[in-house]
Every structure is written in C-alpha cells, then in structure tokens.
Structure 1
Amino acid sequence: MSWAFVLSLLAVLALVYFSLRERVRLRVLRNKKGWDEQSSKVTPFSEALTNLIGMAGGIYLSLMVFFSFLELDLPSRVRILSLYVEPVAAVSFALALVQPFVLRLIKRS
C-alpha cells in the first residue's frame, strides 16, 4: 500500500467523521426536546448516517436522470489515486459530505 493511498483513505474517513458530526449537531439542535424513552434505538449518529446515505443516494439518482436526459456518455470507472470508482457515485458522495457545511455557511450569512 502506498502512502498516498493511506493518506487519502484517512482524509476521506476524516471527512466522513466531520460530516457525520455536523449532521448530529444539526439533528440535536432541531430536536431540543431530548430523547424519547420508547425510541432509544434511534441515536443522533444513526440518524446522521441514514441522512448521509439517503442524501448521497438522492443526489446520485438526480444526476443519473440528468445525464440520461442529456444522453451523456460517462466512463463506468475512473481512477482516483489507487481506487477505481464510479464517477457519479463519487461526486454524489462528495456533495453529500459537504452539504451540512454549506448549510452552516448559508445560515451564517
């Protein structure tokens, strides 16, 4: 394994962590009432992870419909450092990761 791969993997994991942490913070701020005793299985982390995956999936579907409508030919795989990924999925996941930070910037304005 190369150092570039390890560092890029750590950077992606750090970005996922910070994105999830920001989503947890937003969820807690929205639900100031606290925890419901009967729904103790639902945690802010699990809600944030579900939100992240759902957001990435929604962006992915929207982009696929858009590219299909325009009849654009996209490569099936692209190489990012030493990983081969689907480009639309990678863009969707990246946009979902930065979404809570963009919301924070918009709310500060």
Structure 2
Amino acid sequence: MNTISLTIRIPMEIYNKLELTSKSVGFTKVTFIRIAIFTYLSENKTILTFDKSESSEKHRFVLNVNETAYDLLTQASNEYNQSINSIVISLIIKYLEFFSKVLPELDL
C-alpha cells in the first residue's frame, strides 16, 4: 500500500492543543490525526464545521497517510467543497473536543 505525504498547515493555537492532547493520551500527533480521519470520516455521518478565522501564525508539518485515509479525505474535500487541509483541521478540532470531554483536566 502506498503512502501519500500531505503538507498540513494548522493555526498555532490548534497545533499547541494537538500537541498537549496527543502527549496526554500517549499518541503521536500523526497517529492522533490518523485516528480522527478514520473515526469521523469512515462512518460518513459526521458533520464537519470549518473555522473561518485567518490565523497568521501556522505550524507546517507532513502527514503521511495510506490510500484509504487519502480517499476518505478526498471524498470529504469534495463533499464539503473544502481543501484537504481544511478537512484535517476540522477533524483535529472535532477530536480535540472529544478528548476535552473525556479528559477535562486538559482544560482545552
């Protein structure tokens, strides 16, 4: 199975929360995002919302995904008429919200 590399740019505030939460649950940031992709996009029942704020400071990193994850991202991108980058950010935010309820000590 091929690996596809995506360059993702996320606002620093979200990146910092991602870093804190992934460390708290024992995942790498990439694993956290991959799980969010499969959790929220494989069922195709999730409604994504998109942050319209323009944060000037962004963190850039490479996200390697398999073909299945890429296909899920592409389908969501087409369905919502958003970039894959926006889909990934939305998924990160959704998964962060989940963990803020499960782990209230994170104070996200």
TM range (shorter): 0.3 to 0.5
More helix by share: 1
Larger RCO, structure (CA 8 Å, separation 6 or more): 2
- With structure 2 as the length reference, what TM-score do the two structures score? 0.34
Structure with higher Rg: it is 1
- With structure 1 as the length reference, what TM-score do the two structures score? 0.34
